[in-house]
């Protein structure tokens, strides 16, 4: 007997940036396959209505559904599974904490308190057909070789774009943890080196125009990075921890519909990360800070 399909995760009416990127990647893969929702249902163990929810961002799909779609699109699964891991980790954290959105209105060059993403809205769980057995949650930031001439665009696809995700059934080699540490992470991509899951959000900030920024830190990688969304073409995000400045720029409509993020910079406990959004129209930069928490001392065993 085929085991029951793992329940899908309900997502907010306004998906998080992580969910939006995963949805965009999945829709692009589906477009590449040329398959309708009904055809997807025939070739997988997930129903037409389930695929509709997955590809429209209303439900976080099971990991196996992502793998199946990559297989149909003949796409290496690494990047899509990394996006799924990030979206799943973000969803789990938000569901557990369910924080209120307390972002303050931006104040130029002034630190602000964290303003977490909106908490999820309950949506009925998946009622699709029986699914295949679940796969271990291991793959994080493998390089998925979406070698279609535009890796950046593939990473930051429009959330509303017809993009179908289809990872192969043979999962990419799992990433057992961070693949860099401190200085070796400097200037590198956090998504590809296992530094985008299991991390801390040091501070969040909302600008006067409604753009959102976050400072992120991964203890295992010993590095931080920043991201922003709800932006405009030409906006630039700069981030530093006292060393090199790492930047990301909003280049096109694809970026405005998702989020952009900086490369990493090494940061030690107690370090202050500083980020600024520099508006495209040349307005005054809006900045904020976040401090890396000092590591807690391990308790010593009684003698």
In a domain, residue 299? The reply is no
In a domain, residue 39? The reply is yes
In a domain, residue 7? The reply is no
Its domain, for residue 22, covers 17-92
CATH of the domain at 258: 2.60.40
pTM over 0.85: no
Per-residue b/e over 125-157, b at no fewer than 16 CB within 10 Å?
A: ebebbebbeebeeebbbbbbebeeeeeebbbbb
- pLDDT tens digits along 75-122: 887 778 878 888 887 777 655 554 444 333 333 344 343 333 333 333
CATH of the domain at 64: 1.10.260.40
In a domain, residue 175? The reply is no
What lies within 8 Å, CB to CB, of 17 at 6+ separation is 117, 227, 229, 258, 259
From 51, 69, 92, the end of a domain falls on 92
- pLDDT tens digits along 158-214: 333 333 223 333 333 334 478 899 999 999 999 888 898 888 999 999 999 899 999
What lies within 8 Å, CB to CB, of 255 at 6+ separation is 156, 231, 233
Query: How many residues appear in the chain?
Result: 303
Closest CA to 285 of 255, 245, 258: 245
Question: Average pLDDT, stretch 128-135?
Answer: 35
In a domain, residue 263? The reply is yes
């Amino acid at each position: 007997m085929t085991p029951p399909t793992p329940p899908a995760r309900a997502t907010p009416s306004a998906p998080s940036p992580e969910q939006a990127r995963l949805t965009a990647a999945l829709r692009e893969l589906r477009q590449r396959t040329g398959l309708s929702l009904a055809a997807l249902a025939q070739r997988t163990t997930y129903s037409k209505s389930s695929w509709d929810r997955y590809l429209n961002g209303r439900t976080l799909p099971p990991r196996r559904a992502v793998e199946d779609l990559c297989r149909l699109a003949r796409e290496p699964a690494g990047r899509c599974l990394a996006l799924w891991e990030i979206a799943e980790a973000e969803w789990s954290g938000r569901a557990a904490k369910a924080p209120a959105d307390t972002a303050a209105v931006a104040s130029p060059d002034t630190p602000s308190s964290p303003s977490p993403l909106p908490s999820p809205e309950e949506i009925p769980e998946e009622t699709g057909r029986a699914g295949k057995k679940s796969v271990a949650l291991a793959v994080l930031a493998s390089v998925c070789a979406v070698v279609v001439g535009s890796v950046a665009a593939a990473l930051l696809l429009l959330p509303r774009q017809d993009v179908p995700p289809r990872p192969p059934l043979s999962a990419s080699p799992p990433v057992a943890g961070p693949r860099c540490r401190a200085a070796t992470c400097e200037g590198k991509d956090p998504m590809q080196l296992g530094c985008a899951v299991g991390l801390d959000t040091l501070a969040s900030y909302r600008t006067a125009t409604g753009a959102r920024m976050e400072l992120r830190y991964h203890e295992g990688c010993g590095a931080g990075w920043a991201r922003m969304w709800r932006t405009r073409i030409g906006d630039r995000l700069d981030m530093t921890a006292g060393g090199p400045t790492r930047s990301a720029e909003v280049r096109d409509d694809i970026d405005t519909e998702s989020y952009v993020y900086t490369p990493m910079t090494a940061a030690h406990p107690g370090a202050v990360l500083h980020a600024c959004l520099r508006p495209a129209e040349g307005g005054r930069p809006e900045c904020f800070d976040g401090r890396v928490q000092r590591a807690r001392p391990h308790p010593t065993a009684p003698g």
